[in-house]
Every structure is written in structure tokens, then in C-alpha cells.
Structure 1
Amino acid sequence: MGLESKLPNGVLLTNLEKFVNYGRSTSMWPATFGLACCAIEMMSAGGPRHDMARFGMEVFRASPRQADLMIVAGRLSNKMAPVLRRIYDQMSDPKWVISMGVCATSGGMFNNYALVQGVDHVVPVDMYVPGCPPRPEMLMDGILKLHAKVRGEQFADKAARS
């Protein structure tokens, strides 16, 4: 095309949407919301063997106001559902949710009145990680797929969903 010869070295061309989405995907800060055995695997994913720091996610935030990714790991009881929703509402926009494990995704083997049969009844879920409990590698795969999804988002899509 000849465009490369006309631009000086070190110039990067992109649109604002791709640039902002790249920044969002490479600096997600997760909120801790471990509810059961899946939380142990989530903590293991943050350890040195799996090294979430490679993706800019080394520190799990204790305050929802500092987080933009919620990883719901484990079964969610009906008593805990309003707390989950409150924490989700306190997170800054844009925000994403990963449902980790069969219990968080669909209630798992606990089909009773005390447990929510899927976190998506309480908050919108962006990525599901299957397994009982899912290995840290599966969580990392879900995070990488969420990164790819965020990079492809359009500004109007996320605003309309919230």
C-alpha cells in the first residue's frame, strides 16, 4: 500500500475503541468472592505457579470500588445473593463477571431451596468456567477468553447491557 514508507518509525495507527478495549483487557482487577471449594482453585490461580500477574491481575481487590472483574467461585445461597448483588452494584463500570464452577453456573448437584440455581439469576455473567472444581488452568483459559471478548466489545454494547 505504501503507507508504511510515509509514516515515521514508532507511529501506531488504531481507533480509540480498540485502544481503550486493549487497556481494559490487560488491566482487569478482580474482586474476591470465593464461596466454596472453587475459591481454593481461584486462590491457586493467583499463586506463583499460574501467575496471573502476566495478565495484569496479580492483586485481588478487597474493595469492590477498586475492582472491575468479579469471579464468583462456588455455590451461592439465597441469603448471600443480595450481598453479591450489592457488591456488583458497587463495582465501577465497565465491569465483568466470571462464573467459576458448576455450582455457580447452575447450582450443581445441590438442587434445593437454599441455593440459587445459577449466578446469572442475580448478576449478568460474561464468562462461564465449567468443572467441579475447575482447575486453575481452566480459570486462566476463561480469563483469556474474557480478554478476547473485551477487546472485541463496542462501547454501545456494554452501556446497553448494564
Structure 2
Amino acid sequence: MATEAYNGGGWIATKLEWLINWGRKRSPWPLPYGTACCGIEMMCALAAGYDMARFGAERPSFSPRQADVLIQAGTITLKMAPVFKKIYDQMAEPKCVISMGACACTGGVFRTYSTLQGIDKLVPVDIYIPGCPPRPEALLQALLMFIEKTEKSHPIIHKKYSDLLVGT
């Protein structure tokens, strides 16, 4: 049997992917990592006024192994960078990173030797939310973008392992 790339075929695999995506899009578990004033806006989005729970994100996960979405809100110092990278590495695939605020996106007003000038220098970022601090509505929009991305994903076979499949 030849090794072929996964093309999403097969009735059972397609239905199973649909079921997994249905569950993931209705219950995204965010991992909040607030280090600056953007963390206050993130808490506001979780509260009753904006009610992030209506999109299924009512349970912030403080364990990286159970989280789907890492929300970085604020500055990352160079001393904090290895810890942040370790938290990212502990998250299960598929995972999403939201960079919230000017400090997380570009370093913001903290252009010094000791701060990371954007977390995309450390981990791949899926969604950027600009602003200082961004409004809670912007975080809700980013969450909706994650949910839309989840609907189109293929969680059964990760692209990193697609070359290991044996063709049928």
C-alpha cells in the first residue's frame, strides 16, 4: 500500500470530523493569560454584561492541557517568555492563539530591552486584536472567528501526521 496525503475522504471520517467540530465550536475553552490592562477587558468579556458564555466559552480553563484557545492579553517579558512557550507547548492540538492588545501584538508602549516585541516572535498567532486596551466586543469577535475556523478544520488527522497515512 502506498502512502498518500489525507484528503478528508470517507463517510465515517467525514461524519466524525463533523461531530468533533460541532462539539469544539460549541464549547471553546479559553486559557486566559492576562499580564496587563487587557486582562481587565478580558474579565469584562467573561462577565454578565458581554456574556462570553453564550458562545460556549463559559469555562475558562487554567490548565493548558484542557484549553483550546490561548488568549494572551498584555506584555510578555523576556524572562516570562520560556514559561509562556511551555504553556503553549502543553496545549493539545488543534490549538489557537489570540494576541489581545497592542502590547501582545507589537510590544506597545513597552519598547525596551526586556520585553518581547510581539508574541508572534515566540508562538504562532492565529488572531490579532489591536487596541490599547481593546474593547470586550473585539474579544467576542475574535472568539467568533475561532469558532468559524473550527468549523472548517480537520481534527482527526493533523497535517503534521498526514504523510503517515496508508492509502486505501
TM-score normalised by length of structure 2? 0.80
TM-score normalised by length of structure 1? 0.83
Deviation for aligned residue 1:117:
0.9
Cα separation, 1, equivalents of 2:156 and 2:107:
32
The unaligned stretches of length 5 or more in structure 2 are 1-13, 162-168
Cα separation, 2, equivalents of 1:130 and 1:22:
29
* Superposed structure 1 runs of 4+ greater than 6 Å apart: none
Residue aligning to 1:128: 128
Deviations 1:40-71 (A, max 9, x none): 00011000011111111112112212212110
Cα separation, 2, equivalents of 1:112 and 1:99:
19
Cα pair distance change 1:81/1:52, threshold 3 Å: same
The unaligned stretches of length 5 or more in structure 1 are 1-13
Deviations 1:63-97 (A, max 9, x none): 21221211000111111111101111112222111
Deviation for aligned residue 1:16:
3.3
C-alpha root-mean-square deviation of aligned residues, in Å?
1.9
Cα pair distance change 1:47/1:73, threshold 3 Å: same
Quick one: percent identity of the two aligned structures? 51
Residue aligning to 1:10: none
Deviation for aligned residue 1:18:
3.1
Give the aligned length. Answer: 148
Cα separation, 1, equivalents of 2:144 and 2:54:
11
Note the 1:65-144 alignment, pairs <5 A.
Answer: 65-144=65-144
